Amino acid sequence: MTTRSDSQSRRRPETEKPRFSAIRLIYIREMKDQLRDRRTLFTIALLPIMLYPLVGTLLLQIAQFTREHKTSICLIGSEHIQSAPPLVRDGSFVEPYSELANNLELQVRGMESLEENDTFASATERWIQDGTYDAVIIFPPEISADSDRSDEPIASIKLLYNVASDESQIALNRVTAILAKWKENWVSETLAASGIDTEQLEPFELQDIDLAPERTREAAFWSKMLPFIMLVWAMTGAFYPAIDLVAGEKERGTLETLLCSPALRSEIVWGKLGAVASFSMLTAVLNAGSMLVTSAFVFQQIGIAGSTVGAPPVVPMLWLFVALVPLSCLFSALALAVAAMARSSKEGQYYLMPLMMVTLPLVMLPMLPGMNLTAGTSLIPVTGMFLLVRSLVEGQFTEALLHLPMVFGMTAACLWLAVTWAKRQFENEAVLFGGQDQWEFSMWVRHLWRDRQPVATIPQAYACGAIILVALFFGRLAASGAPNDLAGLTKMIISPQLGLILAPALLMSVMLTTSIRTSLRIRLPHKLSIPMAIGLGISLHPIYLTLGKWIEYTYPVSEEAQRAMLPFVEQVASIQWQYVVFLMAFIPAICEELAFRGFIFAGLVRQGGRLRAVLVTALLFGISHGFLQQSIAASCMGVLLGWIALRTGSVLPCILLHFTNNALSVSLSRIADLNLPAFQLILTNTEQGPVYQPLWFLACMGMTILFVFYFAVLRSPVDESNLVEYFPQQDKLPDTTNAEAG
């Protein structure tokens, strides 16, 4: 795909406020346009209204069919169980087994009729395989009960069935139940015969009582199922209008008409977003509603006995709207932003598939058993909202209310990001008028080399992040257990840092950019910022530890993981202090910062992407840490590091801050063990390890504010987000244009 020139491809953001009247106008037009489209009407309205009743009718018929289908069983060798309690008489099961044998076709065959035939085994097997019988029971001659069985092996009754056939499986289950009961009777008869009171065989009786109120019981299934179906439809319902309203309009040429009208870009985005969200909600409501009504009817008809699934409760399901509105808007904004990249409807469908793949797990997550609304899960986008609605449907209002602020805060943040992304897409020329030329590998490689710039381009920065994460994933898979000596430990820590984090960034910097120093952001920052970064590292550490504790409390580390970490922790504790600092503070600080706050940051910060650079590098940095608890802490730290990188325009303060923080983390217990009187004001040793003194904690908070204030007022020596200076062709242009560009 062709991308437009870097320096100017995004117009400066509009300063004018969007007019409500214009948004409404665009919204109404888009809605009318979609409603006049037969395809849209079919998918969003006709299909759900027709589909579910049709499926329901089909289900009812299938249910009748299965009820009528008889299970056929062949019983061979009944003559061998004459002395046992009676099981069959006149070709059918006797009381009390006959009640288990409902709808069961039994054929009794004598052993002798088959024994003459030498292919007895193959004959019975054939019966099962060609479906003559669903199961065959064979009583061997040894079963005769009158023989003294004390020194003989236990006789086995053979049950032939076919696991590949559902009917055969059902037959097996039913026959097993009958035989189990028969065996029970046989045992008690034998015991009674030898004078034992059979009553004593059952010391207790089980009685289970379900205390869940009727409403919850019914809701339990539906509160899992219905939101899932609704959200999947909300997604699907957003995709097709989004493709049509952006990619389709691009294809038909009407988007440019709208873009050169006086409507502001923001008005266009809001109008289209409103229309897409409306269709998303409409699709979801119609589908869920139709399904609710149909299934209520079907379940009433079938009436599955003993099943926890009842007819869905209709009124509590109204709570679903709480989730539907914000999530529909979220999906719509994402779909709109992604669809904007496509040049045609067909291309749009290709682009939306990956989006579906990313969002679907978030919708499926709440379906997992044991997923409940907690502080941790409430912060997962989409999933949190889903769980909140579930507790509302199930009537647990206090719990829902408790997590409401977090769920809504998270959803609002995601929504804001998605809408901002969509708006930016509409301000981006490369996205709206992307080139039409063919992509070819050799041409692309030549382009990479020929059009190298001093810093990475945005796609290159993303690619670098992706390469690092994928490499780390496979690196972890390949890593073999805990190391048992110092060399092994060194290798385990250093090789991913150098080989999987620093190497990709360094290689890309050498091969794809013209200046290693600029692309890795190795610049001399303001002199004072160096001690300030170290100071911030020290003052921030108590807060960072508290954050870590909070995270561990919210998302507890499994005992298994803790046990797996133990040898590693012990080994680290046994090495010399300087070496630990080198391994776990110096190396990661340099490698990770050069990659994340260096190469990737420099690429992402271009074209006014300050927020993007900070957030994306923080996220990548977080994910690179491998397991959840560390990732969250690292992402928070990453945001701060990214902000410092932005303020100072250099990677060096980040390296120092990162180093200080890591070094303190690995040396804290050793410092406390020294028992120096000076440090006792700062640290105390507790059972869980060293802890900062409360007074020091407060002092650190104060210092942190000061340091942060310093960085906030610092002026970056370079404006990396506006990279006109890097434009190689600019020097060909007259001076006047150079000064004016920007």
Residues that bind another protein (CB under 8 A): 2-12, 14, 16, 19, 21-22, 25-26, 29, 32-33, 36-37, 252-254, 256-257, 259-264, 429, 432-433, 435, 437, 439-440, 443-444, 447, 450-451, 727-729, 733-734, 736-738, 740-741
CB of 257 to another protein, least distance (A): 4
Give least dist CB 170 to another protein, A. Answer: 54
Return phi, psi of residue 719, to 5°: -100, 95
The 3-class SS string of 576-635 reads: CHHHHHHHHHHHHHHHHHHHHHHHHHHHHCCCCCHHHHHHHHHHHHHHCCCCHHHHHHHH
User: How many C-alpha atoms does 397 have within 13 Å on its Cβ side?
Assistant: 2
Query: Least CB distance from residue 454 to another protein, whole Å?
Result: 14
CA distance 228 to 364: 7
Looking at the Cβ atoms of 39 and 158, the one nearer to another protein is: 39
What residues have CB less than 8 Å from 132, skipping those under 6 apart? 72, 74, 126
Q: Residue 388 to residues 214, 361, 411, 413: CA-CA distances in angstroms?
A: 20, 17, 12, 17
Closest to 159 in 3D by CA, of 107, 119, 124: 124
Smallest Cα–Cα separation from 605: which of 445, 466, 726, 730? 726
CA 572 to chain centre: 33
Q: Are strands 92-93 and 104-109 parallel, antiparallel or unpaired?
A: unpaired
d(CA 614, CA 654): 12
Q: How far is the CB of 448 from another protein (least distance, A)?
A: 10
User: How far is it, in rounded angstroms, from Cα 453 to Cα 448?
Assistant: 9
User: Among residues 242 and 583, whose Cβ is nearest to another protein?
Assistant: 242
Q: Which two tokens stand for residue 596?
A: 């994340």
Least distance in Å: CB of 467 to another protein? 21
Residue 65 or residue 439: which is nearer to another protein going by CB? 439
Give the nearer residue to another protein in terms of CB position, either 6 or 593.
6
Report the DSSP pairing between strands 135-138 and 158-160: antiparallel
C-beta of 677 vs 734, nearer to another protein: 734
Q: 106: helix, coil or strand?
A: strand
Q: Of 13 and 86, which CB lies nearer to another protein in the complex structure?
A: 13
Nearest residue (CB) to another protein, 7 versus 374? 7
**Dihedral of the alpha carbons of 686, 688, 690, 696, in degrees to the nearest 10:** -80
Q: 520, 704, 710, 657: which is closest to 596 by C-alpha?
A: 520
Least separation in angstroms between CB 721 and another protein: 16
Least separation, in Å, of the C-beta of 719 and another protein? 17
Q: How far is the CB of 616 from another protein (least distance, A)?
A: 21
State how far the Cα of 324 lies from the Cα of 285, in Å rounded to an integer: 9
Nearest approach, Cβ of 455 to another protein (angstroms)? Answer: 14
* Residue among 46 and 698 whose Cβ is closer to another protein: 46
Answer yes or no: are the C-beta atoms of 526 and 653 closer than 8 Å: no
Q: Taking the complex as a whole, how short is the minimal distance between the CB of residue 410 and another protein, in angstroms?
A: 35
Output phi, psi for 336, to 5 deg: -65, -45
3-state secondary structure of 161: coil
* Structure-token pair, residue 30: 């888009």
Per DSSP, the residues of 441-497 read HHHHHHHHHHT-BSS--HHHHHHHHHHHHHHHHHHHHH--S---SHHHHHHHHHHII
Spatial contact of 288 and 47, defined as CB atoms under 8 Å apart: no
Nearer Cβ to another protein (45/471): 45
Least distance in angstroms from the C-beta of 335 to another protein: 21
Nearer Cβ to another protein (260/712): 260
As measured in angstroms, the least distance from the Cβ of 598 to another protein is 23
Residue 683 three-state SS: strand
Phi, psi of 28 (to 5 degrees): -65, -40
Is the Cβ of residue 389 or residue 430 nearer to another protein in the bound state?
430
Residues recorded for the chain:
742
In terms of CB distance, is 391 or 457 closer to another protein?
457
CA gap 339, 305 in Å, rounded: 48
How far, in Å, are 30, 549, 625 from residue 560 at the CA level? 54, 18, 18
- Minimum distance, C-beta of residue 260 to another protein, in the bound complex (Å): 4
Distance (Å, whole) CA 603 – CA 623: 19
Residue 607 CB, shortest distance to another protein, in Å, is 12
Residue number, 175 or 461, with CB nearest to another protein: 461
d(CA 161, CA 171): 8
Considering the complex, state which of residue 17 and residue 67 has its C-beta at the smaller distance from another protein.
Answer: 17
Q: How far apart are CA 383 and CA 359, in angstroms?
A: 10
β-pair partners for 98: none
CB of 247 to another protein, least distance (A): 14
Nearest approach in angstroms of CB 625 to another protein is 35
Toward another protein, which CB reaches closer, 253 or 481?
A: 253
**Angstrom distances, CA of residue 733 to CA of 9, 108, 736, 740:** 18, 100, 8, 11
Supply the minimum distance, in Å, between the C-beta of residue 49 and another protein: 23
For another protein, the closer CB: 10 or 174 = 10
Q: Which is nearer to another protein, 1 or 304 (CB)?
A: 1
Which of 530, 537, 501 has its CA nearest to residue 658? 537
